[in-house]
């Protein structure tokens, strides 16, 4: 499907610089552009590609001033990155979606299936389940007994949703993710033996949540593990039992959250963050990559870095000292030798 620069500018309320009849039929990164491709420039460090790219149309911010001649047609918008994302969503929505139930899918008689759904090969829908309208359940998905999903959800291949879990509307869960597996609950009986504590709760995922591939979200021991509205979880994340993650929080890959921790809304965690159990993390908290959180964060909109994590500004000051530790040790050793010599005299 081809679009002219004029049509794209009209959709985005943008301003055209160049030929409005230039057409595009694909998208590409600006450094990999080719004729007929649409790209965008938002980060200044990629500006030099603008002068060599083969892309036909490039989205730029309204206040962008080129340093030299530009060959592609430019479309000026308020925010090039957001505009490009909206175009990608439009293209995605234009692709026809699969519908129907594959003959190898197993659906228990007591399950209720909504309208306009797709249920792929070898999927299983358990007893008393409710699958909402316009759901896409790709092959090898398992939805356990008494679980419910809202409308317009997508469950990619191999997703496993254990019994009694609740998924809201317009949620996306990527391949290999497990929702509602047992929390890590064991009580010591002797010095070398543990007894398993039954995990009788569930997982509740509210609306507009997206969860990456191979994520594990444990069911609660009692009550619910809760992922609030608008949360975005990257791949390979572990969420322990009875955790609550607040609205619109985003968490990057390989982060682990131990049981019963409460994370506020609008937080942002970088990759490989580790959070101990039974903590409270204030709204708006930002955690740098590999931050280790061992205590509550009480002040909203704080930034923490390091292990154990400290205030980001203190961490930056400390990092200057870290680099000089070998030199400082050598100076201390020399001072100790001098002091010893003076003492002996």
C-alpha 134: how far from chain center: 23
What is the distance between the alpha carbons of residues 141 and 126, in angstroms, rounded to a whole number? 11
Alpha-helical segments (H) within 59-208: 80-94
Q: Contact at 8 Å (CB) between 31 and 7?
A: no
For CA atoms 136, 268, 285, 184, the dihedral sign is: positive
241: annotated active-site residue: yes
- Using CB atoms within 10 Å of the CB of residue 71, give its burial: 0 to 12 exposed, 13 to 18 middle, 19+ buried: middle
Q: Is 141 helix (H, G, I), strand (E, B) or coil?
A: coil
Closest by CA position to 271, among listed 302, 310, 305, 308: 305
- H-helix or E-strand spanning residue 101: strand 100-101
What are the residues facing 231 on neighbouring strands?
none
What are the CA-CA distances from residue 92 to residues 96, 97, 138, 150, 314 (Å)? 9, 10, 17, 21, 44
Tally of CB atoms within 10 A around 252: 20
Q: Which of 174, 241, 278, 312 is catalytic?
A: 241
DSSP conformation class of 27: E
| Contact status, residue 275 vs residue 254, Cβ threshold 8 Å | no
Q: Catalytic residue numbers?
A: 241
């Amino acid at each position: 499907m081809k679009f002219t620069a004029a049509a794209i500018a009209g959709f985005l309320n943008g301003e055209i610089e160049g030929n409005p009849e230039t057409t595009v039929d694909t998208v590409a990164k600006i450094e990999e552009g080719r004729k007929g491709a649409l790209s965008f420039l938002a980060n200044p460090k990629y500006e030099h590609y603008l002068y060599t790219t083969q892309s036909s149309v490039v989205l730029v911010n309204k206040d962008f001033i080129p340093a030299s001649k530009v060959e592609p047609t430019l479309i000026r918008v308020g925010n090039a990155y957001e505009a490009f994302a909206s175009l990608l969503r439009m293209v995605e929505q234009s692709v026809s979606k699969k519908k129907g139930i594959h003959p190898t899918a197993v659906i228990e008689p007591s399950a209720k299936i909504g309208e306009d759904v797709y249920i792929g090969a070898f999927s299983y829908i358990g007893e008393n389940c409710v699958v909402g309208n316009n759901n896409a359940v790709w092959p090898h998905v398992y939805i356990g007994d008494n679980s419910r999903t809202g409308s317009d959800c997508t469950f990619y291949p191999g997703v496993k949703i254990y019994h009694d879990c609740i998924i809201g509307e317009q949620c996306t869960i990527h391949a290999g993710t497990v929702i509602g597996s047992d929390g890590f609950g064991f009580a010591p009986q002797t010095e070398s033996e543990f007894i398993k504590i039954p995990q009788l709760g569930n997982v509740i995922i509210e609306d507009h949540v997206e969860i990456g591939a191979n994520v594990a979200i444990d069911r609660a021991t009692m009550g619910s593990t809760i992922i609030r509205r608008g949360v975005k979880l990257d791949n390979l994340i572990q969420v322990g039992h009875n955790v609550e993650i607040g609205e619109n929080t985003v968490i990057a890959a390989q982060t682990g959250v131990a049981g019963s921790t409460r994370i506020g809304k609008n937080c942002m965690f970088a990759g490989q963050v580790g959070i101990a159990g039974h903590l409270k993390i204030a709204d708006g908290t930002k955690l740098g990559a590999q931050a280790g959180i061992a205590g509550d964060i009480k002040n909203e909109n704080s930034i923490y870095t390091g292990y154990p994590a400290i205030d980001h500004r203190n961490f930056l000051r400390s990092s200057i000292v870290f680099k000089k530790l070998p030199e400082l040790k050598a100076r201390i050793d020399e001072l100790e030798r001098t002091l010893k010599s003076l003492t002996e005299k």
